[in-house]
Amino acid sequence: MSYLKLSQKFSELINVSNGLKLSDIKFRSFRSNSIRTIMAWETEKEKYLNMKAEEKQKNCISLEKIPTWKRLCESEKLPKPIMKMENCPIDNKLNGILSEKISIFEGDITKLAIDAIVNAANSRLQGGGGVDGAIHRAAGSCLRLEGATLAPCNTGDSKITGGYQLPAKYVIQTVGPQLARPEELNKNHFQLLENCYRNSLELLVAKKLKTIAFPCISTGIYSFPNLPAAHTAAYQARKFLEKEHPNVDRIIFCLFLQTDKDIYKGVLQSYFPVSG
């Protein structure tokens, strides 16, 4: 390029930069930083999806270490069964198959080396207390960055993100119903909680994933009573597996409180009897 043309190009650049307002410069800088942020979590997501669980977390727990419900029933003395709720029919011909498709895990959901764990999230998908905070801490900051691109998430809906530093490949984020007091429980709360489980399971199959773990959604600070919450979780899992069991290897109920452990061991005997 000649000296004259080079001078003209330089002058054009000066004129353009002089015409920019400070707000334009700030906006372009913000947009550039935003693009870099998006690229950062996308790159990290791809990197972690290509890693083995053991590379991300040494003390992770594989599916093989978690007994099926059928094996647990054969090896452990269980409490008295808790009868199903009304209007919850099941196809008893599938009892033998489906009792091998579910598990109870008494431990930390962030240690599970499976396809997807479910997060009891808030609508912003930015982390919080309880299991939500634990999952975000274990996954790292990119989970929050990706969540920001999917928010808001409505109550009953589910969104899927990468698992990042978790041994699980993916996190399915779902927002459960929140009650001011347990006494306020009504039909709408049940329907929203049913949607949480059903939508999460449908995402699992849509992504061609095979294994999933649920915490106790909406119990605790969200005030959904533990027993009806367990009934809802068990029945939604049962009805989904009756249709989709060839496409699912395991649904795991991850329990922390002794109250929930006792309840689920009673409830699952009715929704997942080992024999017909």
Nearby residues of 247 by Cβ (< 8 Å), 6 or more positions away = 205, 208, 210
Cα–Cα dist 274/129, whole Å: 36
Query: What was the pLDDT predicted at 40?
Result: 82
Tell me the whole-structure pTM to 2 decimals.
0.86
Nearby residues of 144 by Cβ (< 8 Å), 6 or more positions away = 125, 126, 127, 136
4 pLDDT above the threshold of 50? no
Domain spans, the chain? 3-48, 51-271
Residue type, 78: L
- pLDDT grade, residue 275 (50/70/90)? confident
CB 179, CB 223: distance < 8 Å: yes
Query: What was the pLDDT predicted at 148?
Result: 94
Strands 170-174 and 158-162: antiparallel
Which pLDDT tens digit goes with each residue over 36-76? 555 688 999 999 999 999 999 999 999 999 999 999 999 99
Q: At the fourth CATH level, which superfamily is domain 51-271?
A: Leucine Aminopeptidase, subunit E, domain 1 (3.40.220.10)
Nearest C-alpha neighbor of 209 from the set 177, 183, 171, 181? 171
Kindly report the average pLDDT of the chain as a whole number: 89
Cα–Cα dist 163/143, whole Å: 7
